[in-house]
Amino acid sequence: MTRKNPLFQIFACLAFLTLFTSAGMLRGGTPKSVSSADQVSHPDENGEVEVEATARLYRALCELNENWADRDPNFDIVVDAGSIDDEVSLIQTHLMLVISELQTADIHHLSESQLTNRLAHIHSLRAYAANGNFPRNVFTAGRCPVFIDPWGTHCAVGHLIATSGHAGLANAINSEHQLDLLNDIKTLGLAEWQRDSGLSLDELALIQPTYVSTTLKYPKEIESLILGDSQPVITAIENGNLSVDARCGGKTLLHFAAATGDLSLVKLLVQKGADLQAVSELGCGKSELAKGGSQTVVDVRWNQSTSVSNRGGLSIGRRGPVFQTPRGQVVAGVLNDLHGGLAGMNALDYATRTLQSSRYGYARRTIAMPGVGAIRFKSQEIDPNDPIEALKSDRAAVAAWLKDRGLNKKADLG
C-alpha cells in the first residue's frame, strides 16, 4: 500500500541517503580529503542526529497511536526529541502534540457551547499530560488501550469524560470496552457526550494512547499470599527455607501480611521474632524502572532489588498472577511494586494505606445524558461478600492489633 504521508517520505529519503553515503564510505577505503565548500554542502552532524531522533520519535508515536501515520506532527514544539526515552515522556509528548493539533484545527462550525467545552477539555488535557499519571497495561501482550486500569487511573479520553461531569459514563465504557480503541466503543451516551464536547471523533481517536505491556512477578509464596493463601509462606518458614525477616522488594513478610490483612500470619510472624518496627526500603529506583519497554517485566525478588527488563515477549507479556482477582489487584496497588515500591513504611502503614479506587467518583447509580435522559447502572450498594469489603475488614483488624502493641504509623502516604 502506498504511503502518502509527506513526513514519512522525507524520513525514508533521509534514511536512503544515509545508507547510500555509508556504503560509499565503506567501499572507498581511505576517505578523500574534503574541501571547505564540500563541508558547507553537507548537513552538520548535529542536524543529522536531530533528524534521526525525530524520525525515531515519529515511529514511536505511530506505535502509540496509529492515527499519527496520516498526520504531520508539529515537531517544532519538541525541545529535544532524543531525550524522550521512556513511556511517560512519550505519552506526555504525544498529548502535547495532540493539543497543538487541536489548537490549529478548523472549528468555525462549532456552536458557542461546543467552543466553550472544547477549550475546557484542552485545558484539562494539558493538566492531565503534565501530571504524568497514566494507566498500566497489565492485561495483554504488546500495546493496547486501557480505559481505566485496576487502580482507577483513567486514560486521556476517560479523564476528559470523567472530569466533565460524566464519570458514570466513563465507568460504563470501561465495563464494556476497557481495552478497545475509541472507534470500536459503542456505549450508550458516548455519541451525545462527543457532540457536546466540541471534539470530533477523529480528534478523540488521536488523543487515545495505547500502553505497553507490564508483567508483575513475585516469588510463588508472595503471589499466594497476595491472592489470599498464606500457607506457602508458613510452610517455607516452618521448613527453614524462609526467615521471618526475609525481604522481598524491600518489604518484610510482616509488611506483606499487614497489606493483605492476614492477622493470623501477622501474629505468627511476631511470635517467631519478626521485627515489629521494621520499615520498608525501595525495591528499585527510577533508573531501574526506566529499563522497561514494550514488554516490561517487573520481577520482585527475595533479599535483592527489584529487577525491571524489556524481555517479556508475547509468551509472558500478560498480567501477572496477582491480577487474577480483584483482591490481588487492590493489594498490588497498596504494595506499589509496579512503581518500585515505597520506602519508610512500617506494618501499620501497609495495613492502613488507602485502597486505590476511582478518583472521579464514577460509581454512581444513574447519570443524566443530554438527549438520552437518565442511564441506570448496576447498584453500588455494599455487598458483605464482596472480596474487597472483606479485605478492608481484615486490614482494619490487623491495624487494630498492631496499634494495641504500641505501633505507630511511620509514613503519611495515604
* Cell numbers given for 120: 475546557
Higher per-residue confidence, 61 vs 139: 61
Q: How far apart are CA 73 and CA 69, in angstroms?
A: 10
pLDDT tens digit sequence for 239-255: 999 999 999 999 999 99
Stretch 12-34: mean pLDDT, rounded? 35
> What's the pLDDT score for residue 150?
84
What's the pLDDT at 295?
74
Question: For residue 128, which of 105, 161, 81 has the smallest C-alpha distance?
Answer: 161
**Sheet harboring 295-299: ordered strands across?**
213-217, 295-299, 307-309
Q: What is the pLDDT of residue 39?
A: 36
Question: How confident is the model over 361-378, as pLDDT tens digits?
Answer: 333 333 333 333 433 333
pLDDT tens column, 260-272: 999 999 999 999 9
Beta bridge partners of 295: 213
Q: If you average pLDDT over residues 267-296, what whole number do you get?
A: 90
Helix (H) / strand (E) containing 100: helix 87-103
Whether 1 has a pLDDT exceeding 60, the answer reads no
Residue 14 has pLDDT above 70, yes or no: no
Beta bridge partners of 366: 376
Lowest-confidence region among 169-178, 333-342, 366-375: 366-375
Give the Cβ contact number of residue 128 at 10 Å.
21
* All domains in the chain, ordered by first residue: 45-132+156-208 (no CATH), 214-356+389-404 (1.25.40)
Confidence bin at 7 (pLDDT 50/70/90)? very low
Element (H, E) at 368: strand 366-369
Please name the amino acid found at residue 364. Answer: R
Q: pLDDT digits over 50-87, tens only?
A: 888 899 999 999 999 999 999 999 999 998 888 887 88
Percent of the residues in the chain that have a pLDDT greater than 90, as a whole number: 61
Burial category of 85 from C-beta neighbours within 10 Å (exposed 0-12, middle 13-18, buried 19 and up): exposed
Please report, for residues 109, 253, 276, 395, the alpha-carbon distance to residue 234 in angstroms, rounded to integers and kept in the order given. 67, 10, 18, 19
Better-predicted residue by pLDDT, 215 or 404: 404
Query: If we measure between CA atoms, which residue out of 113, 213, 197, 114 comes closest to residue 156?
Result: 197
**Strand 295-299 versus strand 213-217 pairing type:** parallel
| Number of Cα atoms under 13 Å in the Cβ half of residue 94 | 33
What DSSP state is assigned to residue 198? T
- pLDDT of 357 over the 60 cut: no
Bridge partner residues of 154 (DSSP) = 148
110: left (phi over 0), alpha (psi -120 to 50) or beta: beta
E strands present in 210-315: 213-217, 247-248, 251-252, 295-299, 307-309
Judged by average pLDDT, the poorest of 59-68, 209-218, 228-237, 365-374 is 365-374
pLDDT at 379 over 50: no
- Confidence band, pLDDT 50/70/90 cuts, at residue 160: very high
